[in-house]
Structure 1
Amino acid sequence: MADKPLLIVIGGPTASGKTELAIELARHYGTDIVSADSRQFYREMQIGNARPTETELAAAPHHFIADRSILQPLNAGGYADEALPLLNRIFKKRPVAVMVGGSGLYIRSVCEGLDDFPTVSEGAGAQVERLSREEGIEGLRSELSRLDPVYFERVDRHNPRRMERALRVCYTAGRPYSDFLGNAPPRPFRTVYLQPQAIREKLYDRINRRVDRMLSAGLEEEARSLQHARHLPVLQTVGYQEWWPCFAGEYDRERAVELIKRNSRRYAKRQRTWFRDYHDVRTLTEAVHEVKALTD
């Protein structure tokens, strides 16, 4: 084994078999699984997040599964603050750990760190809000192009939230947003990224069947029990957010189910794209020899 421990990261779209692969690898290496699914953290959200079953949880030690309330939300930075010391404890006992989940930003926060941005001032926030309200997305594009042409070339120009975030930093710091990118310290472990492969049509079929199982398990009833907290950001997520208009009478149950399946497929597509574009991602076949070389 080389001087640095190894973190095997299993990412990719929902319903692609990540949990099964993570358990197989954790059992093989006799190590722990660190969940990087930003909705499986919460006790109250069980059915709609495809949380591992009790049998799966018993197959290997798991962390960050149903360990807090929706009233104690955990963002990506907070997740890294908790996950990094946990990994250090695992690495003191084992040279390998497994991380699994589809929340790309949370994975990045641990493996690479998040960039250190200044605290946004109230004035900067108000300025961006006014610009967005009065000039819309074109105004955001024009201003970002002027203040940070480097970031403007890489940002999704159809995503106003990302441009607003960059502009708030520009206004606060008086410097380009791009100046703050890439400043996180290196991590004391090596990382191999795996992504289970699935043909799109088969993946979408698995997603549809998973939603059907969730409905049979009581997803609608779980959503009703959480309706009082529907304003929380953690409940503005696929599998739950589609029920709120249904419960308000805006459309029927059939439409809610249709939207959950559709939005789950769209979410899987975004996850697949994110991990496909992520550096050094391996398929399982490609990674077998690399992982073996790193752990021998």
Structure 2
Amino acid sequence: MSNLPVIFIMGPTAAGKTDLAISLCEHLNTEIISVDSALVYKDMNIGTAKPNADELTRAAHHLIDIIDPAQSYSVADFRRDAVEKIDLFHQQGKVPVLVGGTMMYFKSLLDGLSPLPEGCPVVRAELELQAQQHGWPHLYKQLVEIDPVAASKMSKNDSQRINRALEVHRLTGKTMSELQQQKPARLPYTFHQFAIAPDDRSQLHQRIEQRFKIMLTQGFENEVSSLYQRKDLHPNLPSIRCVGYRQMWDYIAGEIDYDEMVFRSIAATRQLAKRQLTWLRGWPEVTWLTTGDEENLQRVVSSLS
């Protein structure tokens, strides 16, 4: 077994992950690595519940504020950057604490990623031209012949997935199904995995609603207004699709009123929390902690001994 420990603090939004991670930093020689697909964006602080100045003074957070909202950040990007940080902290004799709720990011560290090629604009354009001439069902028939396994998982009009599967085959000469079965060697770490959540779902819902209303008092509307004024940002970007941001964007655009924005934002955040909990219920080798339990810190610390 590896003697290189890595602590995971996972859980739904608003469950208290950051507080626990900071407490760990104040009791152990650790460094926090954010595992959150929204915290990577600069100028998106309030709506993402990014650690504030006081929290960052108590414990530095890595992999936050690293890209502009106009840019994209893939699971592969995260895995590369996280492994680099983990290895650096191990060399310094520190224990990396990975905290967040983006479950695909955590999964990429545990299971690795299949060696799919980067997208190629030229090949994608060629396929889109064929689709314009013959229709996506025609390209779907090609995919059925090339990769029936991948084709069985999508509809004949699923343009994005059909394009990607055919693109992969043209770039590599191998099917997407074949490449997805290839996994890299497991990382040489011992993962200590914890998930934190309230015992009562209604308590989590209350925390989510309360936190969003606090965000509103902190100036969330002004934050999104500044993003809205930029000519290079639009609702289809991953950054603007973040929970809360899309709803506030629609309000600023005049598409919904204020009360509807609040309602939709809270509802979308609750749906996110539900998806995160669904992931975690099927998660192997995870130890559950209860939000607010004073024994949480000791349980995590004890796992290292």
Within 2, Cα distance between the matches of 1:132 and 1:190? 50
Within 2, Cα distance between the matches of 1:81 and 1:237? 22
Is 1:275 the counterpart of 2:280? The answer is yes
Q: For structure 2, list consecutive stretches of 5 or more residues without a partner in the other structure.
A: 291-295
Instruction: Return the offset for 1:280.
Output: 2.4
Instruction: Return the offset for 1:150.
Output: 4.6
Distance change >3 Å, CA 24–CA 44, structure 1 → 2:
same
Is the CA contact 1:10–1:22 (under 8 Å) kept in the aligned structure 2?
yes
| Equivalent in the alignment of 1:62 | 61
Instruction: Return the offset for 1:63.
Output: 1.1
- Output one character per residue of 1:100-130: Cα deviation in whole Å (capped at 9) or x when no partner: 1111222333444322112445445653786
Indicate the SS of the match to 1:109: helix
| Equivalent in the alignment of 1:191 | 191
Q: For structure 1, list consecutive stretches of 5 or more residues without a partner in the other structure.
A: none
- Output one character per residue of 1:46-76: Cα deviation in whole Å (capped at 9) or x when no partner: 1000111222222223212334433454332
AA in 2 matched with 1:184: P
Is the CA contact 1:132–1:140 (under 8 Å) kept in the aligned structure 2?
no
Task: Tell me how large the CA RMSD over aligned residues is.
Answer: 3.4
Is the CA contact 1:6–1:95 (under 8 Å) kept in the aligned structure 2?
no
| Equivalent in the alignment of 2:293 | none
| Equivalent in the alignment of 1:31 | 30
| Equivalent in the alignment of 1:256 | 261
Distance change >3 Å, CA 156–CA 12, structure 1 → 2:
farther
Distance change >3 Å, CA 57–CA 95, structure 1 → 2:
closer
Aligned length: 291
Instruction: Return the offset for 1:257.
Output: 1.3
Is 1:10 the counterpart of 2:15? The answer is no
Is the CA contact 2:115–2:183 (under 8 Å) kept in the aligned structure 1?
yes
Is 1:242 the counterpart of 2:243? The answer is no
Distance change >3 Å, CA 251–CA 8, structure 1 → 2:
same
Q: 1 or 2, which has the higher helix percentage?
A: 1
Within 2, Cα distance between the matches of 1:164 and 1:201? 42
- Output one character per residue of 1:152-180: Cα deviation in whole Å (capped at 9) or x when no partner: 67x587x9555664454345444332211
- Output one character per residue of 1:210-231: Cα deviation in whole Å (capped at 9) or x when no partner: 1101011111111111103432
Instruction: Return the offset for 1:88.
Output: 1.3
Distance change >3 Å, CA 234–CA 116, structure 1 → 2:
same
- Output one character per residue of 1:209-254: Cα deviation in whole Å (capped at 9) or x when no partner: 1110101111111111110343243122111111233222222111
Distance change >3 Å, CA 234–CA 140, structure 1 → 2:
farther
Is 1:177 the counterpart of 2:176? The answer is yes
Within 1, Cα distance between the matches of 2:95 and 2:104? 22
Is 1:20 the counterpart of 2:19? The answer is yes
Greater shift, 119-128 or 30-39, is seen at 119-128
Is the CA contact 1:128–1:167 (under 8 Å) kept in the aligned structure 2?
no
Within 2, Cα distance between the matches of 1:290 and 1:219? 34
Within 1, Cα distance between the matches of 2:139 and 2:14? 36
Within 2, Cα distance between the matches of 1:81 and 1:13? 24
